[in-house]
């Protein structure tokens, strides 16, 4: 379509102005058919889904089936993703139109009578929400927090040990079910970048010995945080942003401390001291 600066007036160029503005104000406009029948005509429309522009051609909706007696209010809606139009049938003799289904945009109400033989413009109520046709991208909410739920974990000196965190404590959560409490792996199905945080609390650590928190990606060390014990308990925190492909990539929490320490070492199970978390950020 040829475009120009919009200049509403009664001059000869007003017809061209209307052609430019019609793309916005005429999107999914409902109307009777040129030869009225029991269907409804919709003008072309468009939707923006994330970064995809969806162009939708003219549509014919129906046929509508009027009530056998009394009256009924039906609705025409379009899908937020595809723009496909459908009918939502109302309740006979109810003054309330049917609810707008999730994922749909309202286009029109039709006030049908038992005597309705054709759909005419006088029984159509335009209820388009133009701004809503520019649909914002759906927000992804994926994340978890896992811990040891008060149970200490055994760890041997010099052994890289999977920390068996779960999501059963009062502070744990698993939005999107991407964390598997059986394998202790975080493996989301949405590709993107994830904020990853972890903390391990070591007990009974002699001074001078190294304590480490590791994040494994696909069974191999991806990143680590380390500290040198000063004697007693030591806490080691890790944070990073990691890309996961949404298919095969997974993360695990591992612990490690240097050999040569005394017996009785373990990872503290308190939910506030040893934990593993991640959240989708984009």
Of 58-62, 108-112, 131-135, 238-242, which gets the smallest average pLDDT? Answer: 131-135
Q: What is the pLDDT of residue 51?
A: 78
Give 250's Cβ-side CA count (13 Å radius).
13
The band of 16, judged by pLDDT with boundaries at 50, 70 and 90, is: low
- Closest CA relative to residue 254, chosen from 199, 210, 205, 209: 199
Asked if residue 41 has pLDDT above 90, the reply is yes
CATH code assigned to 143-280? 2.60.120.40
Q: Which DSSP symbol is given to 246?
A: S
Domain ranges of the chain: 14-133, 143-280
Query: From CA 113, how far away is CA 165, in angstroms rounded?
Result: 63
Q: Give residue 1's pLDDT.
A: 41
Q: Which helix (H) or strand (E) holds 72?
A: strand 71-79
Query: For residue 181, is pLDDT > 50?
Result: yes
User: Which is higher by pLDDT, 167 or 210?
Assistant: 167
């Amino acid at each position: 379509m040829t475009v120009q600066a919009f200049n509403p007036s009664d001059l000869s160029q007003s017809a061209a102005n209307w052609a430019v503005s019609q793309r916005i104000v005429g999107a999914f406009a409902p109307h009777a058919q040129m030869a009225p029948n029991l269907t409804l005509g919709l003008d072309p429309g468009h939707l923006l889904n994330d970064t995809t522009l969806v162009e939708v051609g003219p549509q014919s909706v129906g046929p509508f089936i009027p009530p056998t007696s009394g009256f009924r209010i039906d609705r025409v809606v379009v899908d937020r993703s595809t723009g496909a139009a459908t009918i939502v049938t109302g309740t006979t003799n109810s003054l309330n139109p049917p609810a707008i289904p999730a994922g749909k945009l309202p286009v029109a109400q039709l006030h049908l009578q038992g005597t309705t033989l054709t759909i005419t413009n006088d029984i159509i109520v335009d209820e388009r929400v133009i701004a809503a046709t520019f649909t914002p991208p759906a927000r992804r909410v994926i994340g978890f927090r896992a811990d040891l739920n008060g149970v200490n974990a055994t760890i041997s000196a010099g052994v890289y040990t999977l920390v068996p965190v779960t999501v059963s404590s009062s502070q744990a959560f698993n939005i999107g079910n991407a964390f598997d409490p059986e394998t202790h792996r975080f493996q989301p199905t949405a590709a993107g970048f994830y904020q990853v945080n972890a903390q391990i609390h070591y007990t009974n650590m002699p001074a001078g010995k190294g304590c480490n928190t590791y994040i494994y990606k696909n069974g191999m060390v991806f990143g680590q945080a380390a500290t040198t014990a000063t004697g007693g308990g030591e806490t080691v925190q890790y944070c990073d942003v990691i890309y996961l492909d949404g298919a095969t990539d997974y993360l695990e929490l591992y612990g490690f401390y240097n050999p040569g320490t005394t017996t009785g070492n373990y990872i503290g199970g308190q939910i506030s001291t040893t934990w593993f978390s991640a959240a989708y950020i984009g």
